[in-house]
Amino acid sequence: MKQPFSKETQSIIYGKQLKAVQRMLDFDYISQRKIPSIACIIDSNGRGIETAFFGSEEIIIPVYNTLIDAAKYHPNATVMVNFASYRSAFETTVQALDISTIELIAVIAEGIPERKERIMGALAKEKGKIIIGPATVGGIAAGKFRIGNTGGSVENLIASKLYRNGSVGLVTKSGGMLNEMFNIIARAADGINEGIAIGGDRYPCSSLIDHLLRHEENEEIKFHVVLGEVGGKEEYKIVEALKDGKIKKPLIAWVTGTCAKIFPTEVQFGHAGARAGEEQETADAKNIALKEVGAIVPDSFDGLFEKIKEVYNNLKSQGITSKIKEFTPPDIPIDYKKAIKEGIVRHHKEFITTISDDRGEEVKYAGIPLSQIIEEGKSIGDIIGLLWLKKKLPEYATKFIELVIEIVADHGPCVSGAHNAIVAARAGKDLVSSLASGMLTIGPRFGGAIDGAGHYFKWAKDNELAPKKFVDEMKKKSTPIPGIGHRVKSIRNPDKRVELLKNYAKTYFPKTEYLDYALEVEKITTAKKENLILNVDGCTGVLLVDLLKSIGFTNEEIEKRINAGVLNAFFVLGRSIGIIGHVIDQKLLETKLYRTPYEDVLYTLPKEEEL
Amino acid sequence: MAQCGIREYAAKKLLSKYINEYSSGKFQYKDEVALVTPENSIETIAEKSNWIKEKRLVVKPDQLFGKRGKHNLILLNTTYDEAKQWINENMGKVVEIGKTKGPLTRFLVEPFVPHSKEYYIAIKTEQCGDKIFFSETGGVEIEENWEKVKEYFVPILESIDIVNFSTVDETIREFIKALYKLFVELDFTYLEINPFTIINNEVIPLDLVARLDDTALFWNKDKWGDIEFPTPFGRTFTKEEQFIRDMDEKTGASLKLTLLNPKGRIWQMVAGGGASVVYADTVVDLGYDKELANYGEYSGNPSEEETYLYAKNILDLMTREKNPKGKILIIGGGIANFTDVAKTFKGIIRAIREYKDKIKENNVKIYVRRGGPNYKQGLALMKNLGEEIGIPIEVYGPELHMTRIIDIALKGERDETAI
């Protein structure tokens, strides 16, 4: 019989079990395998690649969505570790049995119906293949191949010397007891050569005896340790094999579940198969039967350690133990994430944020949990306060912010922002592109006056320039004063929006020093020309400066915020509402591509001789 | 779980629902079977099912135990009124069946059918296939007549059509095949009808025992309907056991508790299904079975709160009645794969701290053994706890094999007994 595991064995992992993948590769690394034990992964939800570490080197593991593909591209993979759920484990295992290159399948799922299990087992026997499981962690061939998560943490793999082969063949029913047995065998003898947990079901696809007979033929294995379990009659096959001389190597056995007899009613332990239906299936009966045919059976589990030690020492004195090349397994580099968690490493951050945090239970705005903000009935003005200004704003301020947004939300289809958005929407562009196309027109000439007005009026007022002087200075520079002047509105035909803003501020703001200053300037400019009024941009700009001042920002802090674009931001935010509206409107109207008519363009090209 | 016994009532319901389909219309079994419970009286059933009042009846308890005739618990060939009276007299009555005692709470009621021929059939599963046992002389004396029972084997990868039933009467042969198909398709793991008879293609199962594979629920939801998997007869739960069962049902982790002897002095709280059995075994194997108070297991990564409640429950139970010889608490476990040992210990430590006075009053010695991720930290926490609150807590890691702490704990016992 060919042994299924060597240092070259490669496997297909069914199911995207990336932790198990990494654990197998860690085992490979400390065992000094030259090639990884994993050839590829099967994930029914998608294909592509995954990466994992082989020591400190990162390697690529291909992902396929069918077993057929995986086997086709990796004919050298002889093992499949099947992590499929109990619902699909049967189909995937039967499929794998049909693939000629796959010789051994480990089925991890628990809860596969017994009939399906028996069919899988029988099919495997018919095809001369091995199934380990179901309902097991799998097993390990020390220094050669680890099935999935068998053996636990890297520390335990090293402590139980699973990175190099010992002399002992171990077969258990329980996967949970494997680590303990590895530990016992490593301390009482020279460690395991191969340890398999066949799984706790009543009809595992391969039984204790199947693996024992395989171990009997494995020359590296010098003696057997078997841990059986109450329920079923599989242990009697070992009894028969011992009687028939099919097992000649020393065999130490113990069947667990001897306590079942003191339970008041029939007891079903955790494993599906762990229930004694009749006297023969009890742990006591099986222990006695094994002992009678020459198995070494201690008086209790506790005696296993001494029995193993005895047998090992005896064989050692006769020179019948594996020749083991001892070495110190290399350290597995610690995972960066784990190191961070444990505070072992530190590093510079690439980004800094001071306004929101999504790492905890819920997102926080400026340190306040979102649920609290909602519960307190806060408005969009409060949220702008938290995220833009990092302040809890008083109500007059949040209401004012909302007023500004409402006022600037839209100004018809003809302004450059809306126009551009409409043209883009009519060209068939999506909402985001059309919106962006409109928004990109916001700048010094469109919408930008809020920023400019805030900036200039603040500068003039802070430098105590008399309004007259300010107007003259601007004229000298031949710069129109931002926020002054309107196409149609004038001192006698005032802009309603400006009235709204002014009245609100006069009623609710503690102080309006910049507005007052701007109104002084307006007096001078309107004296020159009636339509040189403080327009909506100018009014918004100076009132936002008043607002920032009233909520406690210093002059310098306000300037920094103006330079960062905070004033303009109110216009950008507000107007995006209108532009989105225009885009949606055009989409619903299914308007056609816009082309500017020839008659709207003045064509005056240079004559050739002018060039 | 896998193989689970179901009530005779439930099995007969399945038979009546499907035997016609699996025999391609040849056989039928009338849906005349009822289950009387404390909540569903025979009067209520009679309102819908006329046959109960019209026919002669058979009544017997239906609680997963056999030999009802020998225990004088079958009422044969009776009237509705007699049946009603008999059920009323027996409902809630505590009876002793073998080693177990329990109240009668479920009664099967069906028509009494006079018959001459009694057949026996049983189907059971084995690793490589299913075994069918059939006899033309069924009934209560089946074991005495076992040499007349014929045995047939259906290999797991084959169909029943390969089996040679040439010695069996044709009608019966067809019934066996149909019953076997039903057994396979509905994921039975055991089915015994003894006896049954067939009158004009009408199947009459007189007594029946069945188990289903409950892991097949996903595939059989529709066919099984609302099937019940009752606990074995006589298995009642103490308040504390029920508390752990309820907790177990609500969590992805596994929490188990069976009280064996509340006066016992050795209490266990062991991590892992396999390990918990081995710990209990070892106490029994070392001859202290009379002192073993409980079987207890926690595994599958329970939360700190869950281990706290679990430990509290056990500490509460074990400190109720003092014993002059003191008590032993084994906090055991193998080597965990990936469970953070220190984390699971935190809940236990919280409980011990809460119960420190009672632990001292009851002279409890605590022995801890565990391995796996962070075990050193976990053991240090336990050790420090012992020193801090003045309770003897001995801790061991993987340098000592799992069950050795039992030997160490009992060694003290043996020495004291020697003195």
Q: What is the pLDDT of residues A345-368, one digit of tens each?
A: 988 989 999 999 999 889 999 999
- Two tokens at A561? 């915020």
CATH number of B3-31+115-224: 3.30.470.20, 3.40.50.620, 3.40.50.300, 3.40.50.10790? 3.30.470.20
**Mean pLDDT, chain A, whole residue set:** 94
CB of B178 closer than 8 Å to CB of B23: yes
For range A454-466, the mean pLDDT: 94
Mean of pLDDT values over A269-297 = 86
Under an 8 A CB cutoff, do B275 and A115 touch?
no
Strand locations in A184-257, DSSP E? 192-197, 223-229, 251-256
In CATH, what number does B34-111 get? 3.30.1490.20
Q: Which residues of A touch B371 (CB under 8 A)?
A: 156, 179-180, 183
Interface test with B, best of A118, A154, A157, A278 (most B CBs within 10 A): A118
**Chain A residue with minimal CA distance to B299?**
A176
Q: Where are the alpha helices (DSSP H) in A87-163?
A: 89-97, 114-126, 154-159
* Interval A329-342: pLDDT, tens: 999 988 888 888 88
Check pLDDT > 90 for residue A243.
Answer: yes
Mean pLDDT for the stretch of residues A11-19 = 97
What does the pLDDT read at residue A321?
85
A59: distance to nearest CA of chain B, Å?
A: 24
Starting at the edge strand found earlier in the chain, the sheet holding B57-61 runs B34-36, B107-111, B57-61, B75-78
Say if residue A271's pLDDT is above 80. Answer: no
Name the segment(s) of chain B with CATH classification 3.30.1490.20: 34-111
Q: How far apart are CA B160 and CA B181, in angstroms?
A: 8
Q: What six digits make up the tokens of A418?
A: 């809306």
What ipTM goes with this model?
0.92
Residue A271 annotated to the active site: yes
Contact across the interface for A114 and B2, Cβ inside 8 Å: yes
Decide if B215 and A86 are in contact by the 8 Å CB cutoff.
yes
Q: Among A258, A282, A342, pick the best mutation site for testing chain B contact (most B Cβ within 10 A).
A: A258
Asked whether the predicted pLDDT for residue A278 surpasses 90, the reply is no
Q: Which of A60, A187, A86 has the alpha carbon at shortest distance from B401?
A: A187
**How many interface pairs between A and B have CB atoms less than 8 angstroms apart?**
183
Cis peptide upstream of residue A134 (ω within 30 degrees of 0) = yes
Judged by CB atoms closer than 8 Å, whether chains meet at B278 and A256 is answered as yes
- Picking from B2, B125, B402, the nearest residue to A180 by CB comes out as B402
The full 3-state SS of B151-179, as one line of letters, equals: EEEEECCCCHHHCCCCCCCHHHHHHHHHH
Tell me how far apart the alpha carbons of residues B79 and B77 are, in angstroms, rounded to a whole number. Answer: 7
Domain with CATH 3.40.50.261 in chain B: 239-411
Pairing of strands B119-125, B188-199: antiparallel
Topology of domain B239-411 in CATH is Rossmann fold (3.40.50)
Q: What is the DSSP letter of B188?
A: E
pLDDT at position B418:
42
CA B34 to chain A, closest CA, distance in angstroms equals 27
Inter-chain touch A152–B402, beta carbons under 8 Å: no
Q: Are A539 and A407 in contact (CB under 8 A)?
A: no
Identify which of A113, A159, A234 has the shortest CB distance to residue B187.
A113
Contacts of A203 in chain B (CB under 8 A): 125, 127
Which of A74, A211, A224, A271 is catalytic? The answer is: A271
Where along chain B do the CATH 3.30.470.20 domains lie?
Answer: 3-31+115-224
Nearest CA in chain A to B260: A263
Per-residue pLDDT at A163: 97
Nearest-neighbour CA in chain B from A112: distance (Å): 6
- In this prediction, residues A444-457 reach a mean pLDDT of 88
d(CA A320, CA A311): 11
Q: Cβ of A113 and B258 within 8 Å?
A: no
Tens of pLDDT, residues A41-60 = 999 988 899 999 999 899 99
pLDDT (tens digit per residue) in B151-183: 999 999 999 999 999 999 999 999 999 999 999
User: Which parts of chain B have pLDDT scores under 70?
Assistant: 1, 412-419
CB contact under 8 A, A180 and B275: yes
Give B127's contacts in chain A (Cβ within 8 Å).
Answer: 118, 121, 203, 207, 234
CB contact under 8 A, A86 and B295: no
The closest alpha carbon to A501, from A549, A542, A557, A560, belongs to A542
Q: How many CA atoms lie within 13 A of A98 on its CB side?
A: 8
CA distances from B414 to A365, A498, B288, B325, B331 (A): 66, 98, 11, 12, 20
DSSP A388: I
Amino acid at A198: I
Predicted local confidence at residue B419, as pLDDT: 39
Q: Is the distance from CB of B39 to CB of B74 less than 8 angstroms?
A: no
Which burial class, exposed, middle or buried, applies to A541 when counting CB atoms under 10 A from its CB (0-12, 13-18, 19+)? buried
Longest dimension (CA), chain A: 122
Cis amide leading into A75 (omega within 30): no
CA–CA gap between residue B95 and residue B201 (Å, rounded): 38
Q: Would the CB atoms of A87 and B215 count as touching at under 8 Å? A: no
Residue A447 has pLDDT above 90, yes or no: no
CA distance A321 to chain B (A): 23
What's the CA gap between B284 and B261, in Å, rounded?
13
Looking at CA atoms only, how far is residue A139 from chain B in angstroms? Answer: 13
Structure token pair of residue A463: 């430098």
Minimal C-alpha gap between B277 and chain A (Å): 6
Interface contact flag, A187 B401, Cβ < 8 Å: yes
In this prediction, residues A308-324 reach a mean pLDDT of: 92
Q: What is the pLDDT of residue A272?
A: 62
CB A528 within 8 A of CB A411: no
